[in-house]
Amino acid sequence: MSYQVLARKWRPRSFREMVGQTHVLKALINALDSQRLHHAYLFTGTRGVGKTTIARIIAKCLNCETGITSTPCGECSVCREIDEGRFVDLIEIDAASRTKVEDTRELLDNVQYAPSRGRFKVYLIDEVHMLSSHSFNALLKTLEEPPPYVKFILATTDPQKLPATILSRCLQFSLKNMTPERVVEHLTHVLGAENIPFEDDALWLLGRAADGSMRDAMSLTDQAIAFGEGKVLATDVRAMLGTLDHGQVYDVLTALIDGDARSLLEAVRHLAEQGPDWSGVLSEMLNVLHRVAIAQALPEGVDNGHGDRDRVLALAQALPAEDVQFYYQMGLIGRRDLPLAPDPRGGFEMVLLRMLAFRPADNDNAPRQPLKSVGINPATVDSQTTVAGAAPVASAPAYVPAAAAPSPVVLPVVEPPAPVAAPATAPTEEVDLPWNDPKPAQPINAPEPEPVPAPVVEEIPEPVLDTVAEQPELTPMPAPAPASPVPDAPEVESQEQLQAAADVVTPAMLEHVPDAVPYVPAPMDRDDEPPPDDDYFEPDIDIDPASFAYLDDLAHETVEAVEKEPELLPAAKPATGLAADWLELFPKLPISGMTGSIAANCTLISVQGDNWLLHLDPAHSALFNSTQQRRLNDALNQYHERTINLSIELIKPEQETPAQAAARRRADRQRQAEAAIHGDPFIQQMMEQFGASIREDTIAPVDAPVTP
């Protein structure tokens, strides 16, 4: 007798022998038992989940000699002929090979004839979505009102291609994919009945490789039996499928958790012996980390689809949740960048070494929160009981639910860490700050020669700055710190001045320069006229890639110029007269970008008719040229609606500029914010009772206009 493959030998012959699809079987069994029979059924689902098998069982139930029943006898001549595929009243049609409308018309011509042997004539049309539109149109009327002795059973793997007119005439049943647990359970039963030795790990490999199809699982099992000379062993199945040893992924993760670089590289060396797809290895690691994160959030939500549920729970106990998220993100980015590595294995090793180098600092006192009680419902099969009659899967120490533990879990006592002086947390002392100005600046409001240790800026009368204070402030372009500090730099308001120097009061700059990126002008000589669009350049979508080099050079030159901009120093004198008028006029001018930065660091010296003279701090000369002067002059002409002749001299202003006024107001707001934090009674209570400390570098004022 010729050999019959397992997929055909173990094809179910009754609903009782079906594996899975309970939601479909329940409806069909109830309909058959109550004689509520529909004339057209549609079964959808992926390959190998039982569509044709269920159709044949229905044909047997309808034509069994014992009567219409959900449990056919399997012994009568009709049942045997259907099982053997030679029943004359069961017409199986492959729609993929008979797509023409002529084939459909030939089929419909025979519908009018009564069945020869059975009670019903059953038309089983497989892959019905392959029919042409004309074939569907020819089938519509007969499918809607067939003779009482005709039943249509349609099967397809792609129901989206079926017309809505066909779907509305059928009872539709969607068959689900088989889970790896269910596949392993069925393979265990089949191999046990066939007396074929097997290993549990091999069955899990086959269950995952089947990808939800029981027929594929049976076919792969046939191949594994032949490959292993009558045995189904994990090593043979892994070699046959070319898949990665899942245990080696856990070896890599264990070495990573232990911080052992030697063990980590040794695990990679063992992986390399199999010639794996390194991107696939990273994918397996990400899958494991994903399941570990699920186990930490909801232990009962961890499936046993890989046969390693206990190992996942053990990892969930050993790894802090933040480490799991960190490793997952690192692996995700590393998998994206892996094609850029010169060598795939080297790129994979660099991903692991990066995880090792940037892992969160170890803390022996870090608490490990125990997992919640695992409430396993009957649908979730544990790795120790999944395979009936088989040896248990070797795994890490089993996880003990909190509900079954003999005593409550005691967390380690976490002592409050001793305060450590660190630059990131301690208040920053900015006494000897480097300044670019060769001459030390004098304190604010100090016309007398003697030094003033603590100036009181609130006493300075500035009624003309009300309008300026209402304007939004601008984050400036960054400036590098000098190489060495100046020993005689002023100590007044050092921290506040550094933070205040980050803003230049130009209202329109926030609208045109997002994220504080400095304006990049079009390439031009300093004395040339600007292009038509002065402040904005939007490249065309079809721009030549070679032009990007021009943009890079342009940005490089601009950044070099911007980096020379010094820190803002307080003014020697408060603004009065024309300087105060300039503070009031500046925010009203329609300027932005570099022109706004130039104007913010100027002060008005003289006005003689239409001839205006401004003094600009020489430290900001890197941004100044004839184009910027022309733009500022145009803005003054537009505001005053007359022609003004503007002159700008590179002389350090003695009175307060708009930029210095903005810095002073920010310093005031910063001091007020710090005073409010230190004076808050709740914070004082926290410091007294719990030893809390205030991180000065995290205090920031509410970004709202403040009246000077």
CB atoms inside a 10 Å sphere around CB 631: 21
User: Is residue 41 scored above 90 in pLDDT?
Assistant: yes
Exposure on the CB side of residue 348, measured as CA atoms within 13 A = 23
Closest C-alpha among 483, 676, 477, 461 to residue 565: 477
User: Who wins on pLDDT, 505 or 221?
Assistant: 221
| Per-residue b or e along 440-449, where b marks 16 or more CB atoms closer than 10 Å to that residue's CB | ebbbbbeeee
Q: Are 612 and 645 in contact, with CB atoms under 8 Å apart?
A: yes
Q: For position 396, what pLDDT does the model report?
A: 38
- Whole-Å CA distances, 40 to 60, 91, 143, 164, 165: 16, 14, 7, 14, 13
The structure tokens listed for 355 are 């995880």
Q: Scan for tokens 């009945």, then name that residue.
A: 193
Q: How far apart are CA 51 and CA 702, in angstroms?
A: 66
CA-closest candidate to residue 153, choices 133, 171, 176: 171
Q: What is the pLDDT of residue 124?
A: 92
Banded model confidence at residue 462, pLDDT cuts 50, 70, 90:
very low
For residue 147, give both structure tokens.
Answer: 């003779």
Give the number of residues written for the chain.
708
Q: What is the CA radius of gyration of the chain?
A: 40
> How much of the chain exceeds pLDDT 90, in percent?
15
358: number of Cβ within 10 Å: 9
Taking only the tens place, the pLDDT of each residue in 352-363 is 998 888 876 654
Q: Quote the CA–CA distance of 217 and 48 in Å, as a whole number.
A: 9
- Which 8-state DSSP code applies to residue 628? H
The count of C-alpha atoms lying within 13 angstroms of the C-alpha of 638, restricted to the half-sphere facing its C-beta, is: 10
Measured CA to CA, the distance from residue 60 to residue 15 in angstroms comes to: 11
Largest CA distance in the chain: 123
> CA–CA separation, 678 vs 670, rounded Å?
12
Measure the CA–CA gap between 424 and 543, rounded to whole angstroms: 44
Phi, psi angles (nearest 5°) of residue 668:
-65, -45
- At residue 123, φ and ψ (nearest 5 deg) are -105, 115
Say how far apart CA 185 and CA 228 lie, in whole Å. Answer: 20
CA distance 632 to 399: 73
What is the pLDDT averaged over residues 446-463?
45
- What is the spatial distance between Cα 587 and Cα 595, in angstroms, rounded to a whole number? 12
Angstrom distance (rounded) from CA 570 to CA 334? 48
DSSP character at residue 451: -
Confidence of residue 408 (pLDDT cuts 50, 70, 90): very low
Q: What percent of the chain has pLDDT over 70?
A: 68
Top-confidence residue, 556 or 698 = 698
Question: In angstroms, rounded to a whole number, what is the distance separating the alpha carbons of residues 308 and 391?
Answer: 14
Average pLDDT estimate for 533-554: 45
**Residue 305 — pLDDT band, cuts 50, 70, 90?**
low
Q: Does 564 score more than 60 pLDDT?
A: no
Q: What is the structure's pLDDT at 24?
A: 92
Q: Which H, E and C letters describe 117-183, residue by residue? A: CCCCEEEEEECHHHCCHHHHHHHHHHHHCCCCCEEEEEEECCHHHCCHHHHCCCEEEECCCCCHHHH
DSSP 8-class letter at 483: S
Cβ partners under 8 Å of residue 392, min gap 6: 200, 383, 384
Give SS3 for 44: strand
Q: Look over the chain and give the mean of its residue pLDDT values, rounded to a whole number.
A: 74
Report pLDDT for 567. Answer: 59
Confidence of residue 568 (pLDDT cuts 50, 70, 90): low
Q: Give the residue-averaged pLDDT of 629-657.
A: 87
What structural domains and CATH numbers belong to the chain? 6-174 (3.40.50.300), 180-241 (1.10.8.60), 246-364+384-400 (1.20.272.10), 457-663 (3.30.300.150)
Nearest to 490 by CA among 436, 438, 443, 428: 443
3-state helix, strand, coil in the chain (%, to 5): 45, 5, 45
